[in-house]
Amino acid sequence: MANERVTVIDIAKAAGVSKSTVSLVLQGSPLVNEGTRTKVNAVMRDLGYVYNRGAANLRQSSAKSKIIGVVVNDLTNSFFAELAVGVDLVVQDAGFVQFLANTSESLDRQTEVIASMREHGISGLVVSPARGSRAIDFKALVSAGMPVVAVVRPVAGAKVSSLISDNHTGMFAAVEHLARLGHTRIAFFGGFEDTAIFQERLAGYRDGIAASGLVYDEGLVFACAPSRAEGAKAVVRAMAAVDQPTGGVCFNDAVAFGVYDGLRARRLEPGVDFAIVGFDDVIEAGTSVPALTTIAVDPQGMGRRAAQLLLKQINAGKAEAEAVVTPVRLVVRESCGVNKLKPGRRSA
């Protein structure tokens, strides 16, 4: 029940040296001779001394708290749990400790926890923004010079670094995959045309079409709100056309699920009558659709990258916003849409 806090001064007294010598030892300074160092260390062990980082931070520039904040929108979703593990991994190795908070998609919660973290003196923040986050939500942080990296969901207009999926490569690979299976009419579903992400993904689609020797047809691009409901409507529209597509790539997972729904409503079997590839933005939690190929990202790897990016900024001292892209891979399931393919071009 040793309750009184033991401080540098206690151990200085016990070791017969001065406060600052102890401090030097604490910081592993080479200016203290070996004998003193060992003695001091021994005393620290004996008295059960624990370093008070709060006090140290107070005295120092206060910029080096060795705490980084991690806020995710849904820790229940294993994607984000893995992401947190990835962050933790590199952050621990760098001698930092991480605050982890879960917002459950609540903007208020997010504001609260970020404020709280600031009060505790975090030296950087990795955040997977709650839905509906705006640049203004991070305004205070960035103008205070806090390094911030947004993952998974970029925040339009915010001067923070962001780490998002490789939109172009992902879509390109998806289209190539479908083309290789024999599809010649591949649609693009969902997304708001005025967003940067949409443009990137669409470009990947176009380039994939071209690279596969197919012709780009604007009539196969069905832009719509990136929601499940709109996705369902989009595919219905697509299937009403004279020259129906036999498969499609979707702006994100929500749209992909919508396309799935829309096909079922038309009595078509998703993945058999029509191939679907969804871009995995992890927007829908806990939803799982079989027979759906996705463009996926490795969450833990993304976490590691995010942490590295953040540490780089922290060490650089300045918060230069930077947009980085995380690799994606195609996770192929049974969704090749064989029924609609011309005989002879079907895949095994």
Answer yes or no whether residue 62 interacts with its own copies by CB under 8 A: yes
Stretch that binds its own copies, among 78-86, 189-197, 241-249, 320-328 (CB under 8 A): 78-86
Answer yes or no whether residue 116 interacts with its own copies by CB under 8 A: yes
Pick 122 or 202: Cβ nearer DNA: 122
The torsion region of residue 141 among left (phi > 0), alpha (psi -120 to 50) and beta comes to: alpha
**264 Cβ neighbours under 8 A, 6+ residues apart:** 270
Structure tokens at 187: 């649609």
Estimate the share of the chain in helix, then strand, then coil, as percent rounded to the nearest 5.
45, 15, 40
Whole-Å CA distances, 241 to 18, 194, 219, 220: 85, 25, 9, 10
Stretch that binds its own copies, among 138-146, 249-257, 264-272, 289-297 (CB under 8 A): 138-146
SS3 label, residue 329: strand
Answer yes or no whether residue 31 interacts with its own copies by CB under 8 A: no
Structure tokens at 234: 């989009």
Whole-Å CA distances, 210 to 45, 179, 185, 319: 68, 11, 12, 39
Structure tokens at 238: 């697509």
Which entry of DNA, its own copies, none binds 290, CB below 5 to 8 A by partner kind? Answer: none
Which entry of its own copies, DNA, none binds 18, CB below 5 to 8 A by partner kind? Answer: DNA
Q: What is the contact mask toward DNA in residues 16 to 55, using x (rule: CB under 7 A)?
A: xxxxxxxxx-xx---xxx--x------------x-xx--x
CA dist., res. 317 & res. 304, Å (int): 20
Stretch that binds its own copies, among 33-41, 141-149, 185-193, 329-337 (CB under 8 A): 141-149
Answer yes or no whether residue 62 interacts with DNA by CB under 7 A: yes
Pick 213 or 286: Cβ nearer its own copies: 286
Stretch that binds its own copies, among 80-88, 181-189, 221-229, 339-347 (CB under 8 A): 80-88
Stretch that binds its own copies, among 61-69, 189-197, 277-285, 325-333 (CB under 8 A): 61-69
Answer yes or no whether residue 316 interacts with its own copies by CB under 8 A: no
Structure tokens at 327: 């690799």
- Alpha-helical (H) ranges within 32-127 are 34-47, 53-59, 78-93, 107-119
Task: Determine which residue in the list 10, 39, 94, 99 makes contact with its own copies, applying CB under 8 A.
Answer: 99
Q: Own/partner pairs for 234-239, CB < 8 Å, 24+ apart?
A: 234/189, 234/190, 234/258, 234/259, 234/262, 235/187, 235/189, 235/259, 235/262, 235/263, 235/266, 235/274, 236/262, 236/265, 236/266, 238/187, 238/189, 239/263, 239/266, 239/268, 239/274
Answer yes or no whether residue 36 interacts with its own copies by CB under 8 A: no
Structure tokens at 215: 């012709």
In contact, 158 and 142? CB cutoff 8 Å: yes
Answer yes or no whether residue 26 interacts with its own copies by CB under 8 A: no
Task: Determine which residue in the list 13, 37, 64, 118 makes contact with its own copies, applying CB under 8 A.
Answer: 118
* Shortest distance (Å) from residue 25 CB to DNA: 8
Which entry of DNA, its own copies, none binds 31, CB below 5 to 8 A by partner kind? Answer: DNA
User: In the complex, which residues of this chain contact its own copies (CB under 8 A)?
Assistant: 1-3, 5, 48, 50-55, 57-58, 62, 65-67, 70, 75-76, 78, 81-82, 84-85, 88-89, 92, 95, 97-102, 109, 112-113, 115-121, 140, 143-145, 300
Q: Which parts of this chain interact with DNA (CB under 7 A)?
A: 5, 7-9, 12, 16-24, 26-27, 31-33, 36, 49, 51-52, 55-56, 58-60, 62
